[in-house]
């Protein structure tokens, strides 16, 4: 019923702008915004847009904005796109030491000024620019539309009244419609970083997105391509309260691609992912995808008109402007979606080439491409096609195809490309006829395409070699480990399983050795060989230090049951919240209630490193210290072969003298150099913990004694106590320590 009301209001708010031949739809409840742009001029079958992402304009790094001003304006003038999409993180919102993360109005003023200059130099209409929030643009924003929501005040979307979380624009040519839908899934309560890292789509947002993507399904007689753009990759997007996700909506509509940012190029160049509807009920796709491509099986193609579209789409993360100075041109040529990434690190680009057909079989081919081939819907296959943008007149464009079967690249096709002439052309499309059937092959990366353009000054520009498959088959790629970690893992789904696995594991290594020590007659000993026996002996010795053992057990329950710390979560520095392993609890903007567990699973960047790199190593180190002391005692007692009770005081002193002499020998146990290594490792754990605490103090402006004493002090105190209890024996403690050796 709610969706029907939203749809009704959208159509009631129809406004016609006759001068621009554009249509605007708006709704106060759904906060969505629709436009239809009639794309004039040739080439008729082709549209292209520009994507920029992760600008991170910063008061501490003015070069980012300066380079943006110098490079982007002239580049856009040369490319002449139909849309410019800026997918989040417009400003940086970080202090110079990168630890305090909240809004800085000066950065937003700079963004506004730079965009005004770019629009002026590019000579493009301001209304074709679409920018949306990233997590940096939402740091410390307690409520959208409030005094610290600088995005609404300074962004292009905000100034043009695009106040909703979902906005769409349709590029309409004489032959096709191209629907672009932007989605802002930043959290409604903008916490400070680092616990503001994920996209948080709500059920209402997903309903609006579903409605926007379906706006032409029952109305358009023209073929339709759908593209969605946002900031967060799906691997860093949580599910809604009902368990739905952006992926579910995209698969339902079989969009061509979802383009995004957020991850930057430092994680790798293959930050792309092909999504396909899984037919397996117990599929692990909820948690991870091991490779760029999902495994797909091409059966007999259903070529009937009523055949449902393949439930699939591509996810393409692009590089950042922050360090890589990256820009992307994305084109849709008769339904074929392709792109080229450009970086301005080496300066201005004089010529840019974007092949639009055949498609790159690594990142662009889909099962729908194979379906077209099987069903002989290959009218668009007759020519090799490429867009060429240049500041100087182009005198020649050549296309070359290489065969890799001989083991090297053998040139098998070379032809000049001619420009399709149109008096009202928006850009230059070059084509070359070819016999595409000559390149049919079951190996998707056998043939490689390269296009070279030469301008009238003799400057030559070539594309990178790219494999293609006329058959519509995909070249399978594998991620590096770093790429897999950021693109292949669904972190929102993995957080709680990882958390509880860590908790239960730590609990088991504390309780099981203790139970065996109490109830079993068989105990672990260092004299028995084996890795598991050694670990069991270490943990058993830890349980013999009661204060430390109970301290770790109590600390584990403290992390589960109580707040970890209390800090300032918004830019205004007034309201405080407290964080548990389930998220932040903060007051609502009207002070009448609380936002329960905001920032989940974002808080995993604090929770999991603390468990894995502080708590668990600290437990092992305290057990190792206790073990080292026990082995040293047994070494001390083994000097004579008698039990300790057999010695009187004089014999004890003599034996102790002999033991001290043995420490100067080459025995590693006698010298206790293992203890020295363990002390260094203890210092390393304390240093790691100290750096974590320092980052949190800066991020949330906390006092470690007042705001999080349990979190900050427990681990160092337990380590210090264990180090003290296992210290070297001094002469005046000799008798006392010897009496405690035998348990």
Domain boundaries, the chain: 40-297+307-346+478-487, 491-640+672-726
- The reported pLDDT for the residue numbered 698 is 94
Query: Could you tell me the pLDDT band of residue 3, with boundaries at 50, 70 and 90?
Result: very low
pLDDT for 109 beyond 60: yes
Query: Do 45 and 171 touch, CB atoms closer than 8 A?
Result: no
DSSP class per residue in 462-521: EPPPEEE-TT---------HHHIIIIIB-HHHHHHHHHHHHHHHHHHHHHHHHHHHHH-S
Give residue-wise pLDDT tens across range 365-376.
Answer: 776 666 666 665
- The reported pLDDT for the residue numbered 34 is 83
Q: Which helix (H) or strand (E) holds 419?
A: strand 418-419
Three-state SS for 597?
A: strand
d(CA 97, CA 484): 29
Contacts of 337 (CB under 8 A, 6+ apart): 225, 227, 256, 257, 314, 330, 331, 359, 364
- The reported pLDDT for the residue numbered 450 is 97
Backbone angles phi, psi at 632, to 5 degrees: -65, -40
Query: Do 294 and 476 touch, CB atoms closer than 8 A?
Result: no
- The reported pLDDT for the residue numbered 221 is 78
d(CA 47, CA 85): 14
- The reported pLDDT for the residue numbered 230 is 97
pLDDT for 738 beyond 60: no
pLDDT for 333 beyond 50: yes
Query: Could you tell me the pLDDT band of residue 454, with boundaries at 50, 70 and 90?
Result: very high
Alpha helices (runs of H) in 214-348, residue ranges in sequence order: 246-253
d(CA 218, CA 737): 86
Query: Could you tell me the pLDDT band of residue 540, with boundaries at 50, 70 and 90?
Result: confident
d(CA 343, CA 286): 34
Q: How far is residue 450 CA from its own chain's centroid? A: 32
| Contacts within 8 Å (CB) and 24+ apart, 588-592 | 589/142, 589/143, 589/146
Copy the structure tokens of residue 488.
Answer: 């292949």
Q: Average pLDDT of 177-206?
A: 95
40-297+307-346+478-487: which CATH number, 2.60.40.10, 3.40.50.2000, 3.60.21.10, 1.10.3720.10? 3.60.21.10
| CA neighbours closer than 13 Å in the CB half-sphere of residue 242 | 10
- The reported pLDDT for the residue numbered 10 is 35
Query: Do 337 and 225 touch, CB atoms closer than 8 A?
Result: yes
The region that residue 715 occupies, defined by phi over 0 for left and psi between -120 and 50 for alpha, beta otherwise, is alpha
- The reported pLDDT for the residue numbered 23 is 36
Q: Which residue(s) pair with 257 in the sheet?
A: 227, 314
Burial code (b: 16+ CB inside 10 Å, e: under 16) for 460-481 equals ebebeebbbbbbbbbbebebee
Query: Do 85 and 216 touch, CB atoms closer than 8 A?
Result: no
* Residue reference for tokens 């502080």: 614
Give residue-wise pLDDT tens across range 659-691.
Answer: 555 545 444 555 678 889 999 999 999 999 999
Give residue-wise pLDDT tens across range 38-90.
Answer: 998 878 889 999 999 999 999 999 999 999 999 999 999 999 999 999 999 99
Give residue-wise pLDDT tens across range 599-639.
Answer: 999 999 999 999 999 999 999 999 999 888 887 777 766 65
């Amino acid at each position: 019923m709610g969706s029907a009301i939203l749809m009704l209001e959208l159509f009631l708010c129809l406004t016609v702008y006759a001068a621009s031949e554009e249509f605007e739809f708006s709704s106060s409840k759904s906060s969505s915004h629709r436009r239809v742009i009639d794309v004039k001029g040739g080439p008729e079958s082709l549209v292209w847009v520009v994507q920029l992402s992760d600008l991170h304009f910063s008061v501490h790094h003015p070069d980012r904005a300066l380079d943006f001003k110098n490079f982007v304006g002239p580049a856009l003038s040369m490319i002449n796109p139909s849309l410019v999409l800026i997918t989040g993180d417009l400003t940086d919102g970080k202090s110079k030491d990168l630890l305090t993360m909240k809004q800085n109005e000066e950065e937003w003023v700079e963004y506004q000024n730079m965009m005004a200059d770019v629009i002026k130099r590019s000579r493009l209409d301001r209304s074709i620019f679409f920018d949306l929030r990233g997590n940096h643009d939402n740091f410390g924003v307690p409520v959208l539309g409030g005094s610290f929501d600088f995005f609404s005040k300074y962004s292009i979307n905000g100034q043009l009244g695009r106040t909703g979380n979902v906005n769409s624009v349709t590029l309409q040519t004489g032959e096709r419609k191209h629907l672009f839908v932007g989605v802002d899934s930043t959290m409604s309560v903008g916490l400070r970083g680092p616990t503001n890292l994920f996209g948080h789509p709500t059920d209402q947002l997903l309903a609006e997105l579903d409605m926007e993507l379906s706006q032409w399904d029952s109305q358009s007689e023209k073929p339709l391509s759908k593209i969605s753009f946002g900031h967060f990759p799906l691997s860093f997007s949580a599910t809604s309260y009902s368990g739905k996700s952006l992926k579910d909506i995209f698969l339902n509509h079989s969009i061509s691609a979802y383009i995004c940012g957020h991850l930057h190029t430092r994680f790798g160049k293959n930050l792309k992912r092909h999504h396909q509807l899984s037919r397996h009920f117990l599929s692990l796709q909820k948690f991870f995808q091991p490779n760029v491509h999902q495994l797909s099986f091409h059966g007999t193609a259903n070529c009937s008109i009523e055949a449902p579209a393949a439930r699939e789409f591509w996810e393409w993360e692009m590089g950042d402007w922050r360090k890589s100075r990256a820009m992307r041109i994305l084109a849709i040529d008769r339904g074929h979606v392709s792109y080229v990434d450009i970086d301005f690190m080496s300066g201005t680009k004089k010529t840019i080439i974007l092949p639009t057909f055949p498609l790159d079989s690594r990142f662009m081919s889909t099962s729908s491409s194979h379906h077209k081939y099987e069903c002989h819907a290959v009218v668009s296959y007759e020519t090799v096609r490429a867009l060429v943008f240049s500041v100087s007149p182009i005198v020649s464009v050549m296309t070359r195809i290489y065969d890799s079967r001989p083991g090297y690249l053998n040139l098998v096709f070379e032809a000049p490309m001619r420009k399709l002439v149109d008096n009202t052309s928006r850009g230059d499309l070059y084509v070359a006829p070819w016999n595409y059937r000559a390149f049919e092959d079951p190996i998707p990366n056998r043939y490689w395409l390269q296009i070279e353009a030469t301008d009238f000054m003799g400057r030559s520009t070539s594309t990178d070699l790219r494999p293609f498959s006329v058959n519509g088959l995909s070249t399978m790629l594998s991620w590096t480990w770093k790429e897999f970690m950021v693109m292949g893992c669904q972190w929102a789904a993995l957080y709680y399983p990882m958390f509880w696995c860590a908790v239960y594991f730590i609990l088991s290594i504390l309780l099981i050795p203790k139970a065996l020590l109490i109830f079993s007659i068989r105990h672990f000993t260092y004299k028995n060989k084996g890795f598991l026996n050694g670990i069991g002996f270490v943990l058993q010795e830890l349980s013999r230090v009661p204060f430390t053992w109970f301290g770790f057990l109590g600390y584990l329950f403290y992390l589960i049951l109580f707040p970890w710390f209390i800090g300032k979560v918004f830019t205004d520095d007034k309201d405080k919240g407290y964080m548990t392993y389930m998220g932040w609890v903060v007051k609502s903007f009207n002070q009448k209630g609380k936002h329960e567990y905001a920032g989940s699973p974002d808080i995993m960047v604090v929770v999991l490193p603390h468990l894995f790199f502080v708590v668990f190593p600290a437990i092992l180190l305290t057990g190792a210290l206790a073990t080292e002391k026990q082995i040293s005692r047994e070494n001390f007692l083994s000097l004579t072969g008698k039990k300790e009770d057999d010695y009187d005081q004089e014999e004890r002193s003599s034996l102790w003298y002999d033991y001290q002499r043995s420490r100067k020998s080459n025995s590693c146990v006698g010298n206790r150099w293992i203890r020295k290594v363990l002390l260094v490792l203890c210092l390393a754990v304390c240093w790691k913990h100290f750096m974590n605490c320092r980052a949190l103090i800066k991020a949330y402006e906390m006092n470690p004694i007042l705001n999080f004493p349990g979190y900050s002090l427990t681990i160092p105190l337990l380590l210090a106590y264990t180090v003290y209890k296992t210290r070297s024996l001094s002469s005046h403690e000799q008798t006392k320590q010897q009496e405690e050796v035998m348990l």
